[in-house]
Amino acid sequence: MDKIRWIANTMPKTDDLQLSVMSLENVNKAREFHKSFPQYNVTPLANLAHMAEFLGLKSLFVKDESYRFGLNAFKVLGGSFAIARYIAEQLNKDVSEIDYNYLTSDKLKSEFGQATFFTATDGNHGRGVAWAANRLGQKAVVLMPKGTVKSRFDNIAKEGAKVTIEEVNYDECVRKASQLAEQTEHGVMVQDTAWNGYEKIPAWIMQGYGTMASEAAEQITDRPTHIFIQAGVGSLAGAVQGYFANLYKDNPPKVIVMEAQAADCLYQSAKAGDGKIRFVDGDLNTIMAGLACGEPNTISFDILKNHSSFFVSCPDWVAEKGMRILSAPIKGDTQVISGESGAVGMGLIYTLMKNPEYKELKNTIGLDENSSVLMFSTEGDTDPENYRKIVWG
């Protein structure tokens, strides 16, 4: 069995200019925008009190994003807000003037017309962009990497987007989508990863993710001492880290960033220790499809290296363990249907508390009976067949 790998963050700090992307004011604007959608509800925060007691923690909370907008994942928060901010900018308006009713109105059609939003996705982000474009009368084109399962493809296609599965990995799909957007009239790239020269829209996407973090901060009854957050390109991790660093300026929680071992670019960057980004390439084979990204988001990398405490590289068995635990909770706790990319936090927390082999990591992180732990289950069973195979098989 492959081992969990970890490293404490010793990367040199920067001037921290990106932290303001996730300011409370920016996140509040995103949340107000999302509230204008008729589909908006605050997703549940499961309080796994019995599991916390069993593991020897003070408390354990799981934000359950399988209820988000009926899309089974959190990603729509980013894509929808980025589309709104793009349209607002084109019309010289502030995003606070752009709500769901306005975006779906005839007035918008005459003032803005129609754009085509391009993106690359392992599933959830593309579905969110396609859903938002469809609701708002815009067009979407979505590229998916090789090995994409049919259910994820179908979910995007039924939102009216033009979808293709390419013969390349995720990071190559991003480059292809970007080229197509440049060649298309009114073509816009809406990608949740940033690179030099492409930072504005990814920053807006991160702010959209802030809605989830801000809901959790209001719902949680114990101020968190530890936050476990998963990373693909790192946009979600940077968003959560950035929001809580701004919210709890004086005494922020320790943030533990987790990646799929097959695509652990942030862990590799932290291990190198010089503050420079490292890429992971190849097929990036992992069940954690949403985390199979080898090239980090430059904005979130800056936030993570300034604020996160640990980077952990997790083999697939960690996610599988988390899926099974959350699906069969201790009596009295709430069941959470968590997909491959959503459950890795539960698998890691359980392993640290129960497997003596990882005692050093547990102690270094400082997990004990005084710890209040928050994690984010970012997707439900977005690949239902594989979910059942892992949980039932």
pLDDT tens-place string over residues 171-208 = 999 999 999 999 999 999 999 999 999 999 999 999 99
Q: Clarify whether 122 is annotated catalytic.
A: yes
Catalytic residue among 29, 63, 75, 139: 75
Determine what percent of the chain is predicted with pLDDT higher than 70: 100
Amino acid present at 114: Q
65-81 pLDDT, tens digit each: 999 999 999 999 999 99
- What is the three-class DSSP state of 60? strand
Q: Spell out the residues 6+ positions from residue 379 whose beta carbon is closer than 8 angstroms to its own.
A: 65, 66, 72, 73, 74, 124, 290, 338, 339, 340, 341, 342
Q: Cα–Cα distance between 62 and 270 in angstroms, integer?
A: 26
331-355 pLDDT, tens digit each: 999 999 999 999 999 999 999 999 9
Average pLDDT over residues 82-97: 97
- What is the three-class DSSP state of 277? coil
Considering the entire predicted model, what is its pTM? 0.97
Sheet holding 162-165, edge to edge: 162-165, 139-144, 116-120, 187-189
- The answer to whether 183 and 189 are in contact (CB under 8 A) is no
Catalytic residue among 63, 64, 122, 264: 122
Q: Clarify whether 75 is annotated catalytic.
A: yes
- What is the three-class DSSP state of 141? strand
Q: Cα–Cα distance between 281 and 265 in angstroms, integer?
A: 9
Strand 372-377 versus strand 59-64 pairing type = parallel
The domains located in the chain, with CATH, are 5-74+202-392 (3.40.50.1100), 76-197 (3.40.50.1100)
Phi and psi at 266, nearest 5°, equal -70, -45
pLDDT surpassing 90 at residue 282: no
